[in-house]
Structure 1
Amino acid sequence: MRKKFTPLAFILATVVAPCNAQTESALDSMQHLQEVTISTTRIPELKSNAAATVTIIDNKQIEAMSKIAPDMSHLLGLLTPGMALSSNTTSSRAQSLRGRSALILIDGIPQSTPLRSTDRDIRTIDVSAIDHIEIVKGSTALYGNGAIGGLINIITKKNTTNRAIAGQTTLAGSTYNFFQQGKGQGYRINQQLYGKAGQFDYLISGTFGRTGSSVDGDGQFISPRYGLGDTYTTNTLVKLGYALSTKSRIELMYNFYRSLQDTKLIPSAGKYLQRPAIGVIGNRDPQAVDEGTRYNHNAYLKFTSRDIFKHTDLEAAIYGSSLYTVFDFRKANPAQPRWEETSGQSAVKDRKFGFRTQFTSHLTLSENAFAHLVYGYDYLFNKTAQPLVDGRLWMPWLRSNNHAPFVQMKATLWQWFNVKLGGRYDFINVSVPDYDVLRNKLSDPQVHVQGGSLHYNNLSFNVGLSYNKIREFQPFVAFSQGFSIFDLGRTLRAAKADVLSKISTEPVKTNNYEIGAYSQIGDWLQLNGSFFYTYSKLGSDLKIENGFWVVNRTPQKVYGIELSADAKILDNLKAGANLSWFEGKLKSASGEWDTYMSNISIPAAKLGMYVNYSPIKNTYLQLQYIHTGKRNRFTPNATGAYNEGEGIVNRINLLNFMAGMKLKAWDFSLAVSNLLNYTYYTPSSMLMARNAEYAHADGRNITLTATFKY
């Protein structure tokens, strides 16, 4: 039975604070609201000077969320204005940033796979390895291919002590509302060691965890299709640094991530708008293998030097990554055949190697005018394929070489007026081999595609102005461009033409306009608001055709607002709120903007609120509230069913709660997600309008965590 949102939740919601506020865990860390310095803009600067809307998810927030919902897609969905809630699955297809895809980075290493999207790039690292996350909204010219919705740079942890050895051990156990069938329990173990000896510093972190079977608010097993239940996760982070001198440093980072589902449940399809898809105990098909990310390796070797030349710093890095992720098993379906009418299970394999060289020159023009000039060169080699587990290739191995010189300048005049201007020129060559399209039906004509090379040359630039003389009103305006080879492999695997040159493979280019302001009122209140508008001549989302997702090439525009507030009400009480709303339209053949973009890209409005309170020293309480709006703008098709991506999305109201206490070196906490045990369908399951994916979200989940630091 569907549970109603009680009046108690509304009363609590009126006093809770924003998802992007600083999450503090004790009285001594709640004394003031601080300005935050970001580095993802390639020039370290205060967030309010960036001439863009920036969200910082700091270490305190990540620690708190790891106790409530230790999954990256949940964390970003709950804490990032402009991003939809998690689908509660391994897929992040409906989790766009301001209606478009974002470029996901780990310490600057691209996780996105533009040659063939995995929709898994958000879930490529465990929260235990993360120090903080920097999210720059809007298309950007700073990093090139893929950043048409913005950048999400995940910064890994590093040593923070001068002691030779220090560390912490964390143990956590969770249960779904004390579920009695023995399948709702999970656990997590994290061990960290870090320290410094002379010029050498290090950090080693290892995490292993397993979730129980996912259970909804009615005590029913949730369908395991793409599910996060019965999943074991392993993450290892190693970071080693050595100071060559007082000005130069070399650093090595390696991170390994694995997340695989191992369940005794099999999915039982639901009925859209009638009943949910559930999990039932049974035997899976003998051809099926565990789905999930079998491995994601990331590593870099970085050299930094201050004043390598006069007034000039250098950062140079080589990096590499290797990803293998397996999707769900599909039983042969005569009504909707694929893979030559056989059962199968597809995967994506991705390999990257690259290097970055960046110089930063500091220029003093006069006593009241100075500038920072960043310039350099990026190179990325990428190869990607989409094989089936049985060895057949659904998409052949594609190889790309991306060369990109760039320059970014920030000038400060009169110490309060900032001008930013930058550009990047990408040269991308993609090599496509001769290949045979894997037919859906054996009776379909065989298409043999003559391969070749695709060449993309693109100039992107950005300009921004910000004014910071008056702390209470710090406005900015900005224009930025972005481009993306949007899921090229999806287009190639469904080719109808026999020659590569006849296939539409143009990149998506976006123009992003934004106006906004930051405000600091005393030391107790921070405000931020912005309006944005983005246009693309070619579309950057997906549409359904004959049961398969294909790239929608219709012109698009997206526009919306973001508002946020953080307040220190008392020395031991912080609160605030954030709101994001945006809309997307398609241009029809008549030239009018009279068609809505799919719900996949344009989620309903989202309101986030929360409160942090420390009633006595070394104790903390946190209450978080999330509300999403309703979307019902599409009509059923001729058969009476909704097209995929156009389903009815109902409102959602959620409460999460956490309480804890610090006792010397110990930290004990109790966290409850979905406090009221609210039964609801996930936004993505509603909008997809698929019987197999029409699933409930998790019910009440209780987690006990103990951390010992030494």
Structure 2
Amino acid sequence: MKLKLVHFLMASAVGCSSAHAQDAEAGSDAAASTEGENIVVTAARTKLPASALPLTVHVIGSEDLSRQVAVSGTTVAAVSALLPAFSPPREKDNSTGETLRGRSILYTIDGVPQSTPIRDSARDSHTIDPFFIDRVEVIYGSNALQGIGATGGVINQVTVLAPTKDGVSGRALVQGNTGDNFSGASMGGKAGALLSYRTGVFDVTGGAVFERRGVYLDGHDRHIGIDSNRSELQDTDSLSFFGRVGIDLSSNTRLEVIGSRYNLKNNNHYVAIDGNRDEGITATSERGDVEGEPASTLSEMISASLTDKDLGGGTLTLQGFFNRSKDTFSGGTLATYQDTSIAPKNTLFDQSQNRSRKLGGKISYERPVPGISDLNAIVGLDALFDRTAQTLIQTNRTWVPRTTFRSLAPFGQLNWGLFGGVIRLAGGVRYENVQLDVPTYTTLAYYGSNVVYGGKPSFERALWNGGVVFEPVKGIRAYGSYSEGYTIPDVGRILRSISKAGVHVSDYIDLTPVVSNNREIGVEIARGPVKASASYYWSSSKLGEVLERGDDGIYTTSRQPIDIQGLDLNIVTQTPVPGLKVTVGYSHVVGRTDDDGDGKLDEDLDGANISPDRLNLSANYAHGPLAAGIQGRFYLSRTFDGQDEVNNFSGYKLFDAYVSYDFDFGQVGLSVENLTDAYYVTYYSDTQGPTDNARFYSGRGRNFTLRWNYRF
């Protein structure tokens, strides 16, 4: 029966989403909008279209995103499936090792950062349910447009649009999914509703969605291993809320407030069973009792914005936001947690929890420069205050003290069109002023119960960008650019593991930022039925940050020089068959570092820091009420010079399919992830930790999702 279903889907489903920029629907100021084919990307913080910027930008439209989420389950998995330059997803709640062009990603929601820079919980990619996301804007390459963290790029999740017509509108979703063996343990479901109302200048939107996830099965119908920190998506429940209130103060001025709450909690039905790398046996799980509080992710956000499109001939944008997160990890009798003053050695159970609170604001003003034709200027100021602590919650001990991060950053940008826009010059600077405030604290007994004296280390840095765009005819453009992005080291990892006595933070913490210098050249063609792009980039850091994993699976960071080079290719073409679109995408990336300090970049970055080369092939068919698609992702083999040969990557290929039909009572769709039920070890597990049997995970096998989506 299953084999017939697979044959039917392979024969009937043709098509899948493109990673190229899609023509977006006109919407609120919080969303990407279009004028003809000029897509405005709000994550770029300008009203100029993407074609005027020396950047590689992709916008995943609402239809493409919805279909891919139906296949992959999460926004980050959907983005990874569509963009070859994005690393293979971990299939966990933890985003460690997920990179864009070999660098870290800054996740934002309507421009609000989701990261925790002091102590990275690596859960910033799962802070809102995709049911509330209209589209995703992706800006490639190192940049400081949105502040800290975007050394690889920005992924901005734009929430559902405000209603534009008076009356009531909304949508509802009901879906179920199951693993390949149709067992009760692998089954899950999701239900959500969103309701909007507009009258005159006032509008309000609100919604809720609940999802229950079963266990994940691999291509051999075995349970996939449970992460020992419980940073899991499988065997979890999530409940998410979203709301928006807006008022048009005039035809050019809008005030709106957005709020969201996302809570994902592990059900603790399963315990982890180690695998065996030497014998090729992956980790699995079995029913059992889990000690301690359930691992969970809680993210709460509220954002208020005011936009005036006609203030003194320009556009004023004000935004203020508050973001609070609480991330609880699973516990254990880990050596790090032991303290004989509390309990006998190797008997003390504990678990950690990160708590973070962010308060921030953004102000920018954009207008043409008087007296100079086609010269556009932006000036602004960003402020961010983050307070984070990591606590061992069973014994109420401090692991990372409550530390405050403060960033103040004025910036300015210019964009000048010459010769009727045939040539555009762009450039600007952002001046970062960052300070930490660390209190005096005592380390855990494992590190010697040392008193560490607090301090306020700081740094200041100007971050530059510049580029040129050449567009000789409409639809053909070439560009070259230089931009700088930055992040700071994971301070929490440093603070919690100080093992020396008499340390003063101001003298001990090196806050020298990881500044990545990104150089890029690209060509884009959008003529007739073909849209194609090619870009080559160089990204380097004199003092980068490399993740290094110990035998216990715990990461440390090492400051090393890094050099990354890569090539991105994408082609989308409409075929002679009405409604049939074919997409080809390719990414090649190489990363090198100097691990031994001899001044030579003679070692490859491993799988925690660099993604494999990848080829994407897809076809997409949409005609009338029928839409269908098939896509293939080919992760190519890779060896790592200077790394353990056990962690060489042999590669794997995955196929997904989707088919839907619009009935009068709503859209009904069936999607299949990993159509051929391929068995594979995930890239993240396969390319690091050569002796780690606990985190030797296989990837998800064939998974079916049937859903009903109704709009009114």
Instruction: Look up the SS of the partner of 1:386 in the other structure.
Output: strand
- Tell me what 1:312 maps to: 314
In structure 2, the partner of 1:370 is: 374
Q: What is the distance in 2 between the residues matched to 1:21 and 1:636?
A: 35
Matched with 2:187 is 185
Q: Does 1:223 align with 2:221?
A: no
* Contact 2:606/2:643 (<8 A) preserved: no
Q: Provide, for residues 682-709 of structure 1, a one-character-per-residue CA deviation record: whole Å limited to 9, x for no partner.
A: 1111123321111111111111111122
- The 3 A distance-change label for structure 1 pair 186 and 469 is same
CA contact (8 A) 1:66 1:128 kept: no
Task: Report Cα offsets for 1:256-298 as digits up to 9, x if no partner.
Answer: 111111032111010125201011112223xx221120x2011
Q: Is 1:505 equivalent to 2:511 in the alignment?
A: yes
User: Which one-letter code corresponds to 1:608 in the other structure?
Assistant: N
Residue 23 (structure 1) shift: 8.1
- Write the distance in 2 (CA, Å) between the matches of 1:618 and 1:22: 23
Q: CA deviation at 1:109?
A: 0.9
Give the corresponding residue for 2:496.
Answer: 493
Q: Measure the CA separation in 2 of the matches of 1:650 and 1:631.
A: 7
In structure 2, do the counterparts of structure 1 residues 190 and 599 end up closer, same or farther at CA, with 3 Å as the change threshold?
same
Q: Among residues 61, 64, 69, which one is paired with 1:61 in the alignment? A: 64
The 5 Å alignment of 1:469-480 reads 469-471=472-474, 473-480=476-483
Matched residue type, 2:219: G
After superposition, the C-alpha distances for 1:307-355 in whole angstroms (9 at most, x for unaligned) are: 222x12111111110000112323335xxx5454533221211100111
> Gapped runs of 5+ residues in structure 1?
1-6, 26-32
The separation in 1 between residues aligned to 2:23 and 2:310, in whole angstroms, is 37
Query: Is 2:14–2:620's contact at 8 Å kept on the other side of the alignment?
Result: no
Aligned 1:72-111 pairs, distance under 5 A: 72-111=75-114
Aligned pairs for 1:421-432 within 5 A: 421-432=427-438
Matched, 1:20 2:26: no
2:393 maps to 1:386: no
Partner of 1:142: 145
Q: What secondary structure sits across from 1:512 in the alignment?
A: strand
Pair 1:45–1:330, CA change in 2 (3 A): farther
**Match in the other structure for 1:627:** 634
Kept after mapping to 2: 8 A contact 1:406/1:425: yes
**In the alignment, structure 1 residue 589 sits paired with structure 2 residue 597:** yes
State the TM-score, normalized to the length of structure 2: 0.90
- 1:104, 1:111 within 8 Å by CA — same for their partners in 2? yes
Matches within 5 A, 1:99-248: 99-180=102-183, 182-225=184-227, 226-248=231-253
Structure 1 match to 2:668: 668
Report Cα offsets for 1:514-545 as digits up to 9, x if no partner: 111111122x1101111111111112221135
TM-aligned CA deviation for residue 34 of structure 1: 4.7
CA positional deviation for 1:364: 5.9
The Cα of 1:487 is off from its aligned counterpart by 1.2
Q: CA RMSD in A?
A: 2.4
Aligned residue number for residue 278 of structure 1 = 284
2:549 to 544, 550, 554: 544
Question: How many residues align structurally?
Answer: 674
Determine which of 588, 591, 606 is the counterpart of 2:614: 606
Q: Deviations over 1:142-177 (max 9, x none)?
A: 222222111111111122440310111111011112
Between 538-547 and 656-665, the greater mean CA deviation after superposition: 538-547
Q: Note if contact 1:560-1:580 (Cα within 8 Å) is conserved in structure 2.
A: yes
Structure 2 CA distance for aligned equivalents of residues 8 and 657 of structure 1: 11
Are 2:318 and 1:327 equivalent residues in the alignment? no
Which of 447, 451, 459 is 2:450 aligned to?
Answer: 447
Aligned letter for 1:508? V
Q: Aligned in 2, Cα 1:90/1:261: closer, same or farther, shift over 3 Å?
A: same
Amino acid at match of 1:20: A
| More divergent stretch after superposition (493-502 vs 676-685) | 493-502
Matches within 5 A, 1:289-300: 289-293=293-297, 295-300=298-303
2-structure distance, mates of 1:332, 1:127: 35
The whole-number CA distance in structure 1 between the counterparts of 2:604 and 2:349 is 35
Please give the per-residue CA displacement for 1:410-447, whole angstroms capped at 9, x wherever unaligned: 1111222111111111111110011112243xxx5332
Matched residue SS, 1:329: coil
Deviation at 1:102, TM superposition (A): 1.6
* 2:42 equivalent among 39, 42, 46: 39
Residue 4 of structure 1 corresponds to: none
CA positional deviation for 1:237:
0.9
CA deviations 1:119-151 (Å, max 9, x no partner) are 111111111111111111111132222221111
Any gaps of 5 or more consecutive residues in structure 2? 1-5, 25-35, 340-345
**Contact 2:603–2:642, Cα closer than 8 Å, also in 1:** no
Q: Matched residue of 1:457: which SS?
A: strand
Residues of 1 paired with 2:468 and 2:665: CA distance?
46
Q: Which of the residues 261, 266, 275 maps onto 2:271?
A: 266
SS at match of 1:271: coil
Contact 1:107/1:155 (8 A) holds in 2:
yes
Q: 1:129 to 1:684 in 2, by over 3 A?
A: same
Which amino acid is the alignment partner of residue 19 of structure 2?
N
Partner residue of 2:32?
A: none
Work out the CA distance in 2 between the residues paired with 1:589 and 1:598: 17
Match of 2:254 among 249, 261, 278: 249
The letter of the residue matching 2:600 is: E
SS in 1 for 2:489: coil
Rate the CA distance shift 1:621–1:671 in 2: closer, same or farther, 3 A: same
The equivalent of 2:523 in structure 1 is: 517
Question: Is 1:665–1:709's contact at 8 Å kept on the other side of the alignment?
Answer: no
1:3: which partner in 2? Answer: none
How has the CA–CA distance of structure 1 residues 352 and 520 changed in structure 2, closer, same or farther, with 3 Å as cutoff? same
Amino acid in structure 2 at the alignment position of 1:305:
D
Q: Cα distance 1:650–1:205, how it changes in 2: closer, same or farther (>3 A)?
A: farther
Give the Cα–Cα distance (whole angstroms) in 2 for the partners of residues 560 and 95 of structure 1.
17
The 5 A counterparts of 1:643-682 are 647-682=647-682
Pairing partner for 2:571 from 549, 552, 565: 565
CA contact (8 A) 1:18 1:564 kept: no
Give the drift of 1:448: 1.6
User: CA separation in 2, counterparts of 1:192 and 1:620?
Assistant: 23
Q: Deviations over 1:452-472 (max 9, x none)?
A: 101111110100110122245
1:527 aligns with 2:528: no
- Shift of residue 650, structure 1, vs aligned partner: 2.5
Q: Does 1:401 align with 2:406?
A: yes
Indicate conservation of the 8 Å contact 2:301/2:324, yes or no: yes
**Inter-partner Cα distance in structure 2 for 1:291 and 1:355:** 31
CA distance in 2, matches of 1:85, 1:24: 26
TM-score (norm 1): 0.91
| Pair 23,429 (structure 1): closer, same or farther in 2 beyond 3 Å | closer
CA distance in 1, matches of 2:239, 2:322: 20
* CA spacing shift, 1:339–1:514, aligned 2, 3 Å: farther
Q: 1:339 to 1:146 in 2, by over 3 A?
A: farther
In 2, the alpha carbon distance for the partners of 1:563 and 1:8 equals 31
Q: Shift in Å at residue 665 of structure 1?
A: 4.7
Are 2:467 and 1:459 aligned? Answer: no
Distance 1:438 1:621 in 2: 56
Is residue 18–residue 565 contact of structure 1 (8 Å, CA) maintained in 2? no
Structure 2 equivalent of residue 29 of structure 1: none
CA distance in 1, matches of 2:390, 2:654: 37
Q: Which residue of 1 aligns with 2:439?
A: 433
- 2:583 is aligned to 576
